[in-house]
């Protein structure tokens, strides 16, 4: 047997919550595949199985918080029957003996001794020993007896109706408590058997479905609750001030149109505005370091490294902010790859605590949704956050080398800086935005992508 324990997800993390089990007791597990999901106050992440085998027993149910090092489950060669005296090893909550679907303990009515194989087969098929006709020596139940009972039950089920599908005690109880018809649900277990997860999913769907003239109540997930608490704490801590600047992205857009096709062919994803903005931001932070800082005890702590946070929306479940360490060392291409990697791993819950720590400045990017202007909330303990909103084609006044003016169509958008007025004043923030704007509008972005084949595109200037 291999013990599965609550992992240490960061030096300061002392406990975690089992958010979800991806396997049920009796399921075959493969080393490296996702086994369960852990939620902490810093990150949600999937934990892979360390070995091949069968999920023998689950000791901590979903939703239970336990200390780091607590045994959560065991992987072995067969199902382990839980004992009544399974100890709880956490100060946070009692340790459950199983989770979806529950493994029934076969009755031992006649005092017969059940072999481990027989126990496993009874548990997997939701059978009680009293339901099986014993043909073994001294009235013992054999493996063939259990298989015969399973086959007989399957035959009877087919002959009667789909509603007669065998149900485990836990599934029966949940169906009864929630007034659900088993024939209306599709089973995902062996031979189409309903599992606890099937019933839980049906209950959750019905709970989230609004009824006419009735309010819909959707409980906060843990990450949504933590996001809300963090936002409220930030607003009460920092005097937020918003400053907005319009930026002409035409030079960036020319480069995107010129090198975008080759970039997508090489990298497998599109070249967006965000990596260009991020490179310009870290350059501006080097020139205006008081925005790459935190407020301490009557002091401003200016950070030596530029660790850029990128806010990632988890499809409405909340926000996480993975960090790109030493982002001022990244080129446009490297920045694009780093941002995509963190966002992908965030949405698939593959980030570790180390990916979320040490941020010194944050970018929030609602721009792909066509927003006009966003006043983002500062990610404490930082002193500023930049929101990058939608870029669109607009008429602008352009000036030629002789000072003549003309109207042209350019790609234009707003960036909005929210800053902590304790740390800097408006003039400092305005100069930061001016530096950022000038970098985006005037930098030779072609040099960052000159290694790619170029598609000829004329600038509308």
**Whether residue 58 sits in one domain with residue 89:** yes
Catalytic one of 67, 425, 435, 448: 425
Residue 461 lies in a domain: no
**Predicted pLDDT at 106:** 40
421: annotated active-site residue: yes
Which of residues 208, 233, 266 is at a domain's end?
208
Which of residues 208, 234, 255 is at a domain's end?
208
**Whether residue 360 sits in one domain with residue 237:** yes
| Cα–Cα dist 163/418, whole Å | 59
**Whether residue 409 sits in one domain with residue 261:** yes
Structure confidence by residue, pLDDT tens digits, 399-439: 888 889 999 999 999 999 999 999 999 999 999 999 999 99
**Whether residue 309 sits in one domain with residue 351:** yes
**Whether residue 352 sits in one domain with residue 237:** yes
pLDDT one digit per residue (tens) for the chain, 461 residues: 899 998 877 655 677 888 889 999 999 999 888 899 888 766 778 889 999 999 999 999 988 888 888 999 999 988 887 665 444 444 344 344 444 444 434 434 444 467 766 787 788 778 888 888 888 777 778 877 887 887 777 655 544 444 445 676 667 777 887 888 887 887 776 667 787 778 878 877 766 655 556 676 777 776 777 778 888 989 989 999 999 999 999 999 999 999 999 999 999 999 999 999 999 999 999 999 999 999 988 899 999 999 999 999 887 767 889 999 999 999 999 999 999 999 999 888 888 878 988 999 999 999 999 999 999 999 999 999 999 999 999 999 998 888 899 999 999 999 999 999 999 999 999 999 999 999 999 999 999 888 888 776 555 55
**Predicted pLDDT at 454:** 76
**Whether residue 384 sits in one domain with residue 274:** yes
230: annotated active-site residue: no
**Whether residue 67 sits in one domain with residue 186:** yes
Structure confidence by residue, pLDDT tens digits, 164-216: 456 766 677 778 878 888 878 877 766 677 877 788 788 777 666 555 566 76
**Whether residue 105 sits in one domain with residue 54:** yes
**Whether residue 168 sits in one domain with residue 99:** yes
What's the number of domains the chain is made of? 2
Is 161:173 a contact under the CB 8 Å cutoff?
no
**Whether residue 175 sits in one domain with residue 87:** yes
**Whether residue 243 sits in one domain with residue 203:** no
**Predicted pLDDT at 134:** 83
- Domain extent, residue 92, equals 2-208
**Predicted pLDDT at 96:** 42
**Whether residue 235 sits in one domain with residue 148:** no
Which of residues 208, 234, 250 is at a domain's end?
208
């Amino acid at each position: 047997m291999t013990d599965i324990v609550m992992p240490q997800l960061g030096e300061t993390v002392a406990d975690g919550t089992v958010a979800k089990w991806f396997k049920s007791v009796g399921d075959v597990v493969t080393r490296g595949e996702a086994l369960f999901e852990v939620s902490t106050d810093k990150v949600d992440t999937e934990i892979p199985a360390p070995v091949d085998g069968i999920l023998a027993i689950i000791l901590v149910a979903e939703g239970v918080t336990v200390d780091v090092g607590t045994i959560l489950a065991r992987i072995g060669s067969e199902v382990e029957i839980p004992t009544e005296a399974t100890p709880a090893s956490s100060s946070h909550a009692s340790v459950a003996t199983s989770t979806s679907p529950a493994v029934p303990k076969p009755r031992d009515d006649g005092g017969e001794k059940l072999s481990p194989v027989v126990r496993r087969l009874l548990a997997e098929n939701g059978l009680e020993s009293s339901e099986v006709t014993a043909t073994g020596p001294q009235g013992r139940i054999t493996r063939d007896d259990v298989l015969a009972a399973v086959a007989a039950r399957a035959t009877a089920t087919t002959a009667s109706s789909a509603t007669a599908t065998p149900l485990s005690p836990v599934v029966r109880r949940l169906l009864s408590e929630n007034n659900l018809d088993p024939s209306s649900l599709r089973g995902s277990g062996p031979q189409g058997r309903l599992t606890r997860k099937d019933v839980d999913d049906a209950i959750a769907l019905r709970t989230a479905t609004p009824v006419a003239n009735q309010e819909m109540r959707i409980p906060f997930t843990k990450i949504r609750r933590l996001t809300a608490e963090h936002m409220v704490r930030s607003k009460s801590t920092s005097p937020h001030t918003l400053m907005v600047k319009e930026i002409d992205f035409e030079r960036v857009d020319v480069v995107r149109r010129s090198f975008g096709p080759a970039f997508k062919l090489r990298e497998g994803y599109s070249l967006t505005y965000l990596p260009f903005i991020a490179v310009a931001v870290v350059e501006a932070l080097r020139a205006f370091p008081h925005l790459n800082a935190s407020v301490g005890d009557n002091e401003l702590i200016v950070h030596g490294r530029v660790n850029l946070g990128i806010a990632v929306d988890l499809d409405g479940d909340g926000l996480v902010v993975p960090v790109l360490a030493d982002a001022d060392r990244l080129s446009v291409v490297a920045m694009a790859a780093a941002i995509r990697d963190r966002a992908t791993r965030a949405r698939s819950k593959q980030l570790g605590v180390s990916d979320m720590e040490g941020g010194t400045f944050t970018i929030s990017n609602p721009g792909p949704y066509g927003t006009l202007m966003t006043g983002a909330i500062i990610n404490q303990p930082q002193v500023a956050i930049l929101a990058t909103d939608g870029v669109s084609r607009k008429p602008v006044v352009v000036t030629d080398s002789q000072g003549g003016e003309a109207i042209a169509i350019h790609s234009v958008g707003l960036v909005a800086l929210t800053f902590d007025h304790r740390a800097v004043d408006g003039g400092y923030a305005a100069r930061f935005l001016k530096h950022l704007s000038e970098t985006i509008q005037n930098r030779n972005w072609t040099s960052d992508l000159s290694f790619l084949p170029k598609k000829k595109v004329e600038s509308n200037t």
